[in-house]
């Protein structure tokens, strides 16, 4: 990629620097994908993902203090014991800032790297369900108060409060316990990415955060509503699950500068993308005429493809008279909505996509009233309407603001005080799951009020099960 140091790919110092910048910028968490296979054109660009998600985040954990870190870990080719151990270790190392994006693998190239072929989709999801339950059980194999190290007496832990899990399903299993005490947040937070019927079930059952594959604000709203409805139907409080629709930003003083930056960074791929755009618009387009806008005849003949939800937006941009190159620079065939231009546009997009403020986020002392003196980008922060503000995986004391100007507030009451880590969400969820796994034991011994209430509702169960885990 021109203008980008290709050596960055192997520089952990750079990864830490980027994370520190995100932390300074009040980002709530980093989301790190995983794709253990080589793709793309190595002649012109390094692989799109980090060298290794867990090792990268281990470096980031040591160079940051507040930002959350969500890493992707596939359940298709990893054993739950390995996942449980690595994520818990990272959670301990980072003082409780970690989430696990549990995914099934869908690329045959990855399967081939494990000497395998991809299992059928149903089977992948059965294994995913078993894996998440075994991982959570392993994370809960130490009671919350099992670890009481005392340097004076030399006491380390109470063995009576550390127990095996003895879970075995059709695909995975583990005896446990994990050789790791609880982290400061109890255990990592589960994330799910992507929609689909099966993905929704995973999200409803385990997730506290969902990264949506959304193309438009309307799409994001529809997915979020579907998620909330399904969560309710599954007996969970929909507010426990935070939905994060994707957004790709290229910030610049104006649209032209934003498009030029995108062209400089990714323009070399545009000739190959013209074919895809042509399909979306139902036209024949010539990659050799990238600098020309569509003709009046082409615009009249264009029909958005019913098979690609991004097509109407692509046609709208084309009708604005941009050249073919600029249409592509608008990101019309990217995986999330693209904002190329001033930060305020990105802020307005996020604000437009967020739900109306029904109630204040916990502890927030700001009102959600937008006044004429506030630019929209600061209101986004102050009104706490963004899901990230109340997310459970970071200890940040302020909500994110993407405004270049200081948040418009006084210094004594200007921050949203966020519940640092939402153990109660996990506890409630674990308590509502039957049959109980050892994870419920963690709940059993937790002194917090939510657990107390759960106990009184008769949800106090602890059992070492040899039965197959629930699917």
Ligand X SMILES: Cc1cc2nc3c(=O)[nH]c(=O)nc-3n(C[C@H](O)[C@H](O)[C@H](O)COP(=O)(O)O)c2cc1C
Residues that bind ligand X (CB under 6 A): 33-35, 72, 74, 103-106, 121, 193-194, 196, 198-199, 211, 213, 246
Taking the complex as a whole, how short is the minimal distance between the CB of residue 216 and ligand X, in angstroms? 15
Residues 6+ apart with CB under 8 A from 184: 91, 92, 95, 96, 421
Counting every residue written for the chain, the total comes to 471
Taking the complex as a whole, how short is the minimal distance between the CB of residue 69 and ligand X, in angstroms? 14
Cβ distance to ligand X smaller for residue 386 or 438: 386
What distances in angstroms separate CA 298 from CA 35, 278, 303, 319, 333, one per listed residue? Answer: 39, 11, 10, 10, 19
Cβ distance to ligand X smaller for residue 104 or 293: 104
Taking the complex as a whole, how short is the minimal distance between the CB of residue 33 and ligand X, in angstroms? 3
Taking the complex as a whole, how short is the minimal distance between the CB of residue 192 and ligand X, in angstroms? 8
CA 25-31-36 angle, to 5 degrees, is: 140
Cβ distance to ligand X smaller for residue 121 or 316: 121
Answer yes or no: are the C-beta atoms of 107 and 164 closer than 8 Å: no
Q: What is the DSSP letter of 122?
A: H
Q: Which ranges of 64-196 does DSSP label H, i.e. alpha helix?
A: 80-93, 108-113, 121-139
Place of tokens 């054109």: 41
Taking the complex as a whole, how short is the minimal distance between the CB of residue 99 and ligand X, in angstroms? 13
Q: What is the distance between the alpha carbons of residues 11 and 6, in angstroms, rounded to a whole number?
A: 10
Cβ distance to ligand X smaller for residue 103 or 338: 103
For 251, phi and psi rounded to 5 degrees?
Answer: -85, 135
CA-closest candidate to residue 143, choices 453, 460, 458, 449: 460
Burial class (CB in 10 A: 0-12, 13-18, 19+), 98: buried
Taking the complex as a whole, how short is the minimal distance between the CB of residue 56 and ligand X, in angstroms? 13
10 sits in the region (left: phi over 0; alpha: psi -120 to 50; else beta) called alpha
Cβ distance to ligand X smaller for residue 36 or 164: 36
Cβ distance to ligand X smaller for residue 248 or 450: 248
Cβ distance to ligand X smaller for residue 106 or 367: 106
Taking the complex as a whole, how short is the minimal distance between the CB of residue 119 and ligand X, in angstroms? 11
For 157, phi and psi rounded to 5 degrees?
Answer: -150, 165
Taking the complex as a whole, how short is the minimal distance between the CB of residue 218 and ligand X, in angstroms? 17
Cβ distance to ligand X smaller for residue 214 or 433: 214
Answer yes or no: are the C-beta atoms of 73 and 56 closer than 8 Å: no
What distances in angstroms separate CA 69 from CA 243, 277, 358, 379, one per listed residue? Answer: 16, 35, 28, 26
């Amino acid at each position: 990629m021109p203008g980008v140091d290709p050596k960055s790919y192997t520089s952990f110092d750079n990864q830490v620097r980027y994370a520190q910048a995100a932390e300074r910028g009040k980002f709530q968490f980093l989301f790190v994908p995983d794709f253990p296979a080589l793709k793309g054109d190595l002649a012109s660009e390094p692989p799109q993902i980090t060298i290794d998600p867990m090792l990268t985040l281990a470096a980031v954990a040591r160079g940051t203090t507040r930002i959350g870190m969500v890493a992707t870990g596939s359940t298709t080719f990893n054993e739950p014991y390995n996942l449980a151990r690595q994520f818990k270790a990272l959670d301990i190392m980072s003082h409780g800032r970690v989430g696990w994006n549990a995914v099934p693998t869908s690329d045959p190239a990855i399967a081939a790297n494990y000497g395998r072929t991809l299992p059928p989709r149903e089977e992948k999801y059965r294994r995913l369900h078993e894996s998440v339950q075994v991982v959570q059980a392993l994370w809960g194999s130490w009671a919350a108060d099992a670890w009481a190290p005392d340097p004076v007496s030399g006491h380390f832990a109470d063995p009576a409060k550390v127990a095996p899990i003895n879970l075995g399903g059709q695909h995975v299993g583990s005896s446990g316990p994990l050789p790791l005490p609880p982290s400061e947040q109890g255990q990592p937070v589960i994330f799910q990415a992507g929609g689909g019927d099966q993905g929704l079930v995973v999200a409803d059952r385990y997730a506290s955060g969902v990264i949506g594959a959304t193309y438009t604000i309307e799409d994001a709203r529809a997915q979020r509503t579907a998620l909330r409805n399904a969560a309710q139907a599954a007996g969970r409080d929909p507010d426990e699950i935070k939905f994060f629709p994707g957004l790709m930003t290229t910030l610049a003083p104006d649209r032209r500068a934003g498009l030029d930056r995108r062209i400089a960074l990714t323009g070399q791929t545009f000739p190959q993308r013209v074919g895809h755009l042509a399909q979306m618009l139902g036209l024949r387009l010539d990659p050799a005429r990238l600098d020309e806008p569509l003709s009046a005849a082409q615009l009249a003949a264009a029909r958005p493809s019913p098979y690609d939800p991004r097509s109407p937006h692509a046609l709208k941009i084309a009708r604005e008279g941009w050249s073919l190159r600029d249409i592509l620079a608008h990101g019309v065939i990217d995986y999330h909505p693209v904002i190329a231009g001033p930060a305020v546009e990105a802020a307005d997009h996020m604000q437009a996509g967020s739900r109306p403020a029904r109630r204040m986020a916990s502890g927030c002392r700001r009102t959600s009233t937008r006044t004429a003196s506030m630019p929209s980008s600061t209101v986004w922060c102050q009104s706490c309407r963004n899901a990230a503000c109340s997310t459970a995986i970071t200890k940040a004391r302020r909500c994110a603001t993407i405004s270049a100007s200081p948040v418009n507030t006084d210094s004594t009451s200007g921050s949203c005080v966020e519940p640092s880590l939402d153990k109660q969400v996990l506890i409630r969820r674990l308590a509502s799951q039957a049959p109980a796994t050892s994870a419920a034991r963690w709940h059993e011994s937790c002194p917090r009020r939510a657990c107390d209430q759960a106990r009184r509702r008769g949800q106090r169960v602890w059992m070492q099960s040899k039965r197959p885990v629930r699917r």
